Amino acid sequence: MCGIAGYVNFDFAEPDPELLHKMLDTMVLRGPDGRDIFINYNTGIGHTRLSVIDLETGGQPICNEDATLWVVCNGEIFNYRDLRRMLLERGHQFRTQSDTEVILHLYEECGSAFLQHLDGFFAFALYDTKLGFMMLARDRMGIKPLYCYRDSNHFAFASSINALKQLPFVKLHLNEQAIWDYLSLQYVPDGTVYKHIRQIAPGTFFSFHSEGPRRHYQKLSYWSPEFTKKTKQPYGEACAELAKTVSASVRDRLIADVPLGVFLSGGLDSAIIAGLAAEQMECPLKCFTIGFEDQSYDERERAAATAAHIGKFARYGFDHRVKVVNPCDFESLSFLVKQFGEPFADASMIPTYLLSRFAREEVTVALSGDGADELFGGYERYLALRYLGKFDTVPEAIRRPLFRLAAAMIPEIGNERQKWARARRFLRGAASSGAERYLGILSRTDEALKRAVCGKVFDYVHPTLETFTEEFYGKAFSANPSERASEVDLLSYLREDILKKVDVASMSASLEVRSPFLDYKVVKLSCLYPYEFKEKDGVRKRILADAFEKYLPEGLARRPKRGFGVPLAAWFRNEWRELLRARLLDGVCVRKHIFNGRGLERVLNAHLEKKADYSYLLFSALVLELFLADE
C-alpha cells in the first residue's frame, strides 16, 4: 500500500521536484518504506511506498524496458503472477518481481482494454513519454482513493487531498452544498468538500495528452455492478459457488512478503474471513480484537468465542491478540481529521484507527470483513425498508401526518442503539417513501435541524434529498426496496463512508487492509442473487450464514449486529463537555457564519441537559470546526 502523486504543467514548465516531495511528505504514513519521483518535460510523478510484495526491487515509479512508459500505483494486483507468465511468453522483459510492473506490460499488450484483466484493488497513473499521454484508473469498487485537480494550465493527482493542497496553483474553494450534505450524512456523498478537487470514479479510467494542442480529456467506465439480471441457480448451488469464490478471494489476499493477520470482531463477517484464512495460512494466523470498558460497545467476549471455534481450522496455529483501548481520545480525533483532508464524521474511524495501530505492532497487512453488509443484506435498514413498504398502501395524505405525529411522541433522548430510538426512525420512515424514506433512515440530521443551527453561508443550497436522489437513488434500478437500498449503498455509503474510513484510518497506522468480500467476482455473484437469498424470514445475510456455517459458533448467524460505534452522546455530556462548548461556540464556524451561534448553543444545551440527543450533529459540527481551524 502506498501513496501516489503527480502533476502536469500545460504551459510546458518543468515540475518542481520540491513540490513533488512536499506532496509525498503528506503521505509518509501511507508509504514509510521509501519514495522516489520521475520528471520528464512538463510531467512529474511520485510514489511513497509501504513494502508488501517484492521488498527488494519493487520501488516505484517503475518503467518498461525502454523507459518510455512509467507507472505509480497504490494497491495490489492479485493475479499478477498469472499475468506475468502470459506476458513473459509474449516476449516482455521484467525488471522486478512486483505486481505493479505487470500494469506497464499489459498496457503495451492490450491498450486501455488491459483494465479488464486486472484483479485487485488499485489506483494508478500511467505515463507514456512518447505520446505525452497519461491514464489514471481506479479499481472497480473504489477501495483505493484517487483525487484530481485540473485547470487551464495544470492537471494534478494524488492519493490524498492533503497532497494536492501542497500545490500553489490548486484552488481550495469550499463547496457549500457538500458541507450541507455532509451535515446530514457525516460524509461528503459526491466529489469532495472543495469545488475544484474531484475523485476518479470507481471502475473508471481518465486519460489525456499532456503535451501540445492534442489535450483531450476522456473518461470511460470499464465496470459497474449489475443488479438487473438474476440467477436461476438453486439456492444450494449458489451457496456452494459463493463459498468457492470467497475462499479464492481470501487465498489471493494472503499473498504478501510481510506478516499478515485478520481483524476479528464478534460478528459473522470477520468470523468467515478468519476461518478461511486459518485453513489456508501456511503459518500461524494472528487475529486482532480491541475491547472497550463500556460493555454496550465491547465485543471481546463474542470475539473470544469465535476465536475458540475457528482456531480448530488453523493448520499451523491460531494466535488471538486482544487489547482494551479508550476511544475517548481527542488527540486521535484531531489527528484523524487532518489525515482525511476534508470533513468526515463517522465516529467509528477512531476505533478503526486504534485497531489498525494495534495490529500494526505485529503485521503489515490485515484482512477485514468490510462489504458483506452492503452485498448480502446485513443492515437493519434493509429489513426495515421491506416492512415499511407495507405502509405504502395507506394514502400519503393520511400516512404522512399520522406517522409523523406518532414519531414526534417519542422523545429524542438517549442514543440510537436503544429500541425506542429505532422505533422513532421507523415511524418517520413510514411517513415517507422512496428516496426520502431511504435518506431519512440513513441521515443523522434533517433539513429543519440544519436550518436551525446553520448560518447564511447556506442560503442557496439545495435540500440534501435533491442532490442525493439525482446522484445516487435515481441511478439505482432494483425493484425490491431493500435491494435498491443495497445498490445505493454500494454507490455512496460503502464508497464514501466505509471504504474511505478504513483506508484513511488504516493508512494512518501504515497498515494495509484487504477486504475479500469486495473482490469484484464476489460482488458480481451478490448482484445476481435474488434478494430472498440474502434475507428471508427476518434472517439477514442468510446465504453467507449457510455457505460458511462451519466457521460460525452456534447462534452467531442470528445474533443482532452491534457495529463499531462509540458513545458520543455520553462523551459530550461528560469527558468532552467543556471542550465541545469552547470549540463550537467560539470557533471559526461561528465566525464565518457557517453556524448560527445562538441556534447552535440551543442545540448544544438541549443535548447537555439530556432534553434531546443531538450527538451526531454535534460531532459533525466538531469535526468541521477542527477541519476549518486547521485550514
Residues that are catalytic: 2
DSSP tally for the chain: helices H, then strands E: 28, 17
Cell (9 digits) for 59: 520501488
Strands 69-77 and 260-263: unpaired
Strands (E), 193-325: 197-199, 204-209, 218-221, 260-263, 285-291, 318-324
Strands 120-128 and 133-138: antiparallel
Cell (9 digits) for 550: 462451519
Helix, strand or coil, per DSSP, at residue 395: coil
**What CA dihedral angle connects 554, 560, 565 and 567, to 10 degrees?**
-110
Q: Is 329 exposed, middle or buried (0-12, 13-18, 19+ CB in 10 A)?
A: middle
Cβ atoms of residues 487 and 435 within 8 Å: no
At 26, the amino acid letter reads T
Nearest to 118, CA basis, from 140, 96, 98, 86: 140
Q: What is the side-by-side order of every strand in the sheet holding 512-514?
A: 318-324, 285-291, 260-263, 365-367, 512-514
Q: What angle do CA 600, 612, 424 make, to 5 degrees?
A: 125
Cβ atoms of residues 377 and 540 within 8 Å: yes
What is the distance between the alpha carbons of residues 423 and 28, in angstroms, rounded to a whole number? 46
What is the distance between the alpha carbons of residues 1 and 586, in angstroms, rounded to a whole number? 40
Q: Bridge partners of 45? A: 6, 38
At 340, the amino acid letter reads F
What is the distance between the alpha carbons of residues 427 and 404, in angstroms, rounded to a whole number? 7
50: which residues sit within 8 A by CB, 6+ positions away?
1, 2, 30, 31, 32, 33, 364, 510, 512
As a whole number of Å, the end-to-end CA separation of the chain is: 27
